Amino acid sequence: MVILTNSDPNKGISYQLINLKGGSGMKLRIAVIAALCIGLYCSFPGIHSPADVQAANVEDPILTVLNPLGTPPPITLKPMAPRLDTLEGKTIYIVNDGYPGSGILLKELTTVCKEKFPNTTFVYRDKRMGMSAKDPALWKEMEEKADAMIIALGH
């Protein structure tokens, strides 16, 4: 059995859990949740007396607070690339951007795609510059040879 007791009535509301019998963990959880709910309820400013509230001093300076995020630039929408009408005879690049573990998945995806679509060329490439940097050589190669691209961006 768990009993909630007020540890010191002069210091405000704080509760102490006393486990008398050892009981189950569920009873203790319920008691802790009840204590937290009581503490949350008692912390609302609406239940305090008006004497606790301090009026603003007229001589205090007025502060102007600015949004630290600033004003973002306008977003320019770009249309999605048109879909390929067929995969027959196309070259699809599968690109790994270096996210940990994605190489295993993408190599397996390349193998499965080659089996399912034998008339399509699938090319697996690792992006050499890591996740955030551009790889100009790879982009140039894909612009010349690829009809489409699948890239794993992580997260």
Tens digit of pLDDT for each residue in 59-80? 777 788 887 887 888 999 999 8
59 or 149: which leads in pLDDT: 149
Tell which residue, 146, 111, 154, 148, has the closest CA to residue 130: 154
| Burial classification of residue 15, based on how many CB atoms lie within 10 Å of its CB (0-12 exposed, 13-18 middle, 19 or more buried) | middle
Q: Where are the domains of the chain?
A: 2-47, 91-152
Answer yes or no: pTM beyond 0.75: no
How far apart are alpha carbons 108 and 124 in whole angstroms?
Answer: 10
Tens digit of pLDDT for each residue in 43-57? 666 555 555 556 666
Cα–Cα distance list, 116 to 29, 125, 145 (Å): 54, 20, 21
Tell which residue, 46, 3, 43, has the closest CA to residue 23: 3
pLDDT at residue 7 is higher than 70 = no
* pLDDT of res. 2: 44
Tell which residue, 155, 149, 153, 134, has the closest CA to residue 94: 149
